[in-house]
Amino acid sequence: MAGDHAAGEPPTRPDERLLNLVIALVNTSAAMTKQQVRSGVHGYGAAPSTEAFERMFERDKDTLRALGVPIVTVEGSGHSDEVGYRIDNDAYALPPVDLTPAELGVVALAAQLWSDKTLRTDMSRAMTKLAAAGAADAAGDAVAGLTPRLRAAGDAYGPLLEAVSERRVVTFRYRAANTGEVRTRTVEPWRIAARGGGWYVVGHDREREATRVFRLSRIDGRVRVGAEAGAYTIPDRVDVDAALGARVGAERTALLAVAPERAPVLRARAVGPGPGVPRAPRGRDVVAVPFRSMTAIADEVAGYGAAVLVVEPAELRSEVRRRLAAAARLDGGAGETGERHG
């Protein structure tokens, strides 16, 4: 960042230059004069004249202040009357992060949207730091109860989101669920939504001249986004729930034996055990939790480990055991949680 710059220095991107200026003004011991900025901050040495540098620097200061960066002016003292500039670190620093378990769970759920995108590494680091800053054990249940219910959207999500925002027609190859046949679809996408652990796009299928729903995981290859923006109009009222209602299966009920004070998210969705429920294992509560997607509920229950045992249905118990066994193999041995779902 610092160092002398040659007169023929290639121009620096404005955003890179702004970042360099912020770093320099945050780390200066007192304040930086304009001359120090011009000679020491990468991006300003390319200014062809003093007047050009002045305009560039003033414009950058205004931009940073508009973004909320507290750049302060320091009057010269002693033998120098030249003013300097620095960033007020006390005003610029964020307060300590103190998230409740529920808040951390919501942040983790939002972060999962980017789990297969270019921000994956940054999101992973951020979540690790947030978990370390809070009560990790207490936060575990909230995260386990929320994140497994939403799977990564896949590569189709970004182009489809852009198409919905700019009302561009999309074309993609789609594998039908009932026949496995792959056909090209041309669609005016209206809404993107998650249901039952999967992601769907609702829109107008131009070939069929009807409203259709497409699961993103069944899109084969990349989504091609049309060049024309504003190519269609999204209806004022799009009933996403009605469109997706038949896609997530009939509602069923899982009977779960939950350890005391654990799995608050599952408990909140419980509809009561009802009559004729098998007796709970010692020290546990039996709760009845409705679900539609076997995959989503199995992922969620497995996330709690030994804190939640499946009483019925047997299919769900088998799915949870399979997930825990796979997790135990990744850890290098059979875990206690896998053995207790017998």
* Sign of the CA dihedral with 151 first, then 199, 268, and 342 last: negative
In a domain, 275, yes or no: yes
**Higher confidence at residue 146 or residue 22?**
22
In a domain, 286, yes or no: yes
Q: Which domain covers residue 50, as residue numbers? A: 14-92
Q: Are residues 139 and 82 in the same domain?
A: no
CA distance linking residue 153 with residue 192, whole number of Å: 10
Q: Are residues 120 and 73 in the same domain?
A: no
Quick: pLDDT tens for 68-92. Answer: 889 999 886 655 567 899 998 888 8
CATH of the domain at 35: 1.10.10
Confirm if 277 and 286 have CB atoms less than 8 A apart. yes
Q: Tell whether the model's pLDDT for residue 268 goes beyond 70.
A: yes
Confirm if 70 and 91 have CB atoms less than 8 A apart. yes
Closest by CA to 198, choosing from 158, 151, 160, 243, is 151
Q: Are residues 256 and 335 in the same domain?
A: yes
Residue with tokens 């809070």: 134
Q: Are residues 282 and 330 in the same domain?
A: yes
In a domain, 44, yes or no: yes
Quick: pLDDT tens for 183-216. Answer: 999 999 999 887 766 788 999 999 989 999 898 8
Q: Are residues 269 and 327 in the same domain?
A: yes
Confidence at residue 297, expressed as pLDDT on a 0 to 100 scale: 83
Quick: pLDDT tens for 114-148. Answer: 555 445 566 666 666 666 655 444 445 544 554 44
Side chain identity at 97, as an amino acid letter? V
In a domain, 3, yes or no: no
Closest by CA to 274, choosing from 295, 254, 250, 249, is 254
Q: Are residues 241 and 257 in the same domain?
A: no
Domains of the chain: total: 4
Q: Which 8-state DSSP code applies to residue 280?
A: P
CA distance linking residue 210 with residue 55, whole number of Å: 56
CATH of the domain at 223: 2.30.30
> Looking at 58, 74, 92, which one is the last position of a domain?
92
Confirm if 46 and 52 have CB atoms less than 8 A apart. no
- Asked which of 164-173, 229-238, 262-271, 330-339 is least confident by mean pLDDT, the reply is 330-339
Q: Are residues 283 and 243 in the same domain?
A: no
What six digits make up the tokens of 11? Answer: 């121009």
SS3 state of residue 118: coil
Confidence at residue 2, expressed as pLDDT on a 0 to 100 scale: 42
What six digits make up the tokens of 160? Answer: 């489809």
Average pLDDT over residues 157-186: 89
Beta bridge partners of 172: 185
Beta bridge partners of 210: 205
**Higher confidence at residue 292 or residue 246?**
292
Concatenating the DSSP letter of every residue in 165-233 gives HHT--EEEEEE-TTT--EEEEEEEEEEEEEETTEEEEEEEETTTTEEEEEEGGGEEEEEEEPS-TT-S-
Long-range contact pairs involving 46-49 (C-beta distance under 8 Å, separation at least 24): 46/5, 46/9, 46/10, 46/11, 46/12
Interacting residues of 144 by C-beta distance below 8 A, sequence separation 6+: 263, 300, 303, 304, 305
